[in-house]
Structure 1
Amino acid sequence: MTATLLEDAPAAAPAAGRATVVLRRFLRRRGALAGAVGLVLLFLLAFAGPYLTPWSYSHIDYLALRQAPDAHHWWGTNRIGQDVFAQTVRGLQKSLAIGLLVAVLSTGLASLVGACAGYFGGWTDRALMFFVDLLLIFPSFLIIAVVSARLRSSSWLGLVALFGLFAWMITARVVRSMTLSLKEREFVRAARFMGVGPFRIIWRHVLPNVASFLIIDATIQVGGAVMSETALSCFGFGVPQPDVSLGTLIASGTSAAVTYPWMFFFAAGLLVVFVLAVNLVGDGLRDALDPTSGGGAR
């Protein structure tokens, strides 16, 4: 009888994988979910928005200079007759691209340098950390401002490279500390004794165990890069003309924020929403990946 009941009982559900558990924790946080929805909407606006309007970001309507929002120009026009909606979605598109590329570049560089320094130790560790400490003492914002002024005639990718070059050092030191602990773990020692190469161990065993930190760091880097580009644009150094970003739009519209508010507040509002959404997603990822961080138990 007992055997029959055991046979008729439904099979136990397989244990949920780590990715599923993390996703469930993330979705339980309303703030993180709101941030994720906000980011999706911003990406849709940035990349689908140009197809919703007949105006190009570089097109000039000489019959509508500083015109308030109406049926023809949804968000009005600027001082030379360019459509503010077209310019803003183009600027949002450029700022998102800058943020994502800087995050990928800086986080990838930090993970490579930090993991190699922590795993190999010795002179490799000393040389890499000396280079990291050397970059930390440089006034990065001043250097970026000076160099970017000489790159204004080139592509905006040079600006991305500059931001990425000076945004990875602190993360690299944290990854190094985590690697120093991980390389003494049993599974790393076992791989080493089996003859697995050091770079394969770093790729297969070390980096996956610091991935949660790197994901959180990347979300922070996205918002930080966009804010840095905005600050740089306020001083006249940013995405070279005739292209635009949220930073250049905010810088050009600041003087007209009171008299012609649509030239300033649409770009500034999208910047605030973007940075807030990124921070909410970063907090949600932190709590989902590390429930002991303080917020994951809610």
Structure 2
Amino acid sequence: MRRSVRSPGAVAGAALLLGLFLLAFAGPLVSRWGYADIDYSALHRPPGAGHWFGTNRIGQDVFAQCARGLQKSLLIGALAAFFSTGLAAVVGVCAGYFGGWADRLLMLFVDLMLVVPAFLVLVLLAPRLRSFGWLAYAGLIAAFGWMVTARAVRATTRSLMKRQFVLVAGYMGVGPVTTIRRHILPHLASFLVTDATVAVAGAVISETGLSYFGFGTQPPDVSLGTLIADAADVPTTYPWMFWFPSGLLIVFVLACHLVGDALRGVLDPAGGSASADPVGSGA
């Protein structure tokens, strides 16, 4: 925590993320307009006292819609990153720890998933899963976002298998589940936390892309993608309709990468592995 506070990137990224979360979840509480409310007396009105981010072509408040869209994108991105990182950890650790036929089968599955055109599959499946709500979008995005991380986890696990504390655990008859839980996952934790932070940004971009092309969030609900798509033809005529949701997306992705880069330097997986080796304490 002390090293994180001394990192300008971590502080800046965390401050931006905090501000975005406050906008998404506290913004609707302080605005007198709902994202679906229509002000018929204020069509295409620029930002002002009555409408902080202006209104769109039918009089809906852009601030309320941006808060709702950011809220939906954050929820989908966070859940998709959580599921994809968890799946990558399970597949990568199992392949690296057990080796042999388990490794070959799991890596064959990973290679097959890598050659699948992910966005095309998402476009084909998303309309068929609309009845399940936004949870289905999070699951779909997670299903195609874990393979590269799984390969990195496998490589790290295979290197840890040669470390003395893992070998000693095996000689003492410690079971695979206990070895993985006590000796493998703690050395992967910093990498997985960093990867999950960056994966949130990728998941939000994927969800925004789906919604932009009409395959994600559907009206009357909104997301950043639908807001950007609705204003794609008026970025110069009515700039507040386009630049506010686009700016929020850019700031969020930037904040995630700032936090991810800072965590990579602060957690220092290589240094943490050496200091956490229990062999020196006589384990």
State TM-score, norm by structure 1. Answer: 0.87
Residue 101 (1) aligns with residue 79 (2): yes
Which residue of 70, 73, 77 corresponds with 2:51?
A: 73
Q: Which residue of 2 aligns with 1:43?
A: 21
Which residue of structure 1 aligns with residue 32 of structure 2?
Answer: 54
8 Å Cα contact 2:190/2:269 also seen in 1 = no
Give the AA of the match of 1:86. A
Q: How does 1:231-250 map to 2 (within 5 A)?
A: 231-250=209-228
Name 1:210's counterpart in structure 2. Answer: 188
| Matching residue of 1:138 | 116
Which residue does the alignment assign to 2:276? none
CA distance in 1, matches of 2:39, 2:130: 26
State the match for 2:244 in structure 1: 266
Percent of paired sites with the same residue: 61
Distance 2:210 2:45 in 1: 28
Amino acid aligned to 2:184: V
Partner of 2:253 in structure 1? Answer: 275
In the alignment of these two chains, the number of paired residues is 271
Q: Residue 70 of structure 2 contacts residue 223 of structure 2 at CA under 8 Å; is this kept in 1?
A: yes
In the alignment, structure 1 segments of 5+ residues that lack a partner are 1-22, 294-298
Structure 2 stretches of 5 or more lacking a match? 272-283
1:232, distance to aligned residue in structure 2 (A): 2.1
Counterpart of 1:17 in structure 2 is none
Letter in 2 for 1:68: P
User: After alignment, is 238-247 or 256-265 more displaced?
Assistant: 238-247
Q: Which moved more, 1:216-225 or 1:199-208?
A: 199-208
Q: How large is the Cα RMSD of the aligned pairs?
A: 1.6
Query: Where do 1:113-152 residues align within 5 Å?
Result: 113-152=91-130
TM-superposition CA deviations, 1:77-135 (whole Å, max 9, x none)? 11122111110011111111111111100000000000011001111111111111110
Residue type of the alignment partner of 1:152: R
Q: 1:284 aligns with which of 248, 262, 272?
A: 262
Distance, in Å, in 2 between the alignment partners of 1:198 and 1:31 is 38
Q: Mean alpha-carbon deviation: is it higher for 39-48 or for 195-204?
A: 195-204
Q: Which position in structure 1 is the counterpart of 2:203? A: 225
1:159/1:238 contact within 8 Å kept: yes
Give the structure-2-normalised TM-score.
0.91
Decide whether the 8 Å contact of 1:220 with 1:278 is kept in 2.
yes
Offset at residue 282 of structure 1 (A): 0.7
Q: Which deviates further from its counterpart, 234-243 or 112-121?
A: 234-243
Per the TM alignment, residue 253 of structure 1 is displaced from its structure 2 partner at its CA by 1.2
Amino acid at match of 2:201: G
Shift of 1:291: 8.3
Q: CA deviation at 1:292?
A: 7.6
Tell me how far apart the structure 1 counterparts of residues 181 and 229 of structure 2 sit (CA, whole Å).
43
Q: Is the Cα contact below 8 Å between 1:110 and 1:171 reproduced in 2?
A: yes
Q: Residues 192 and 292 from structure 1, CA distance in 2 versus in 1: closer, same or farther, beyond 3 angstroms?
A: closer
Bigger radius of gyration among the two:
1
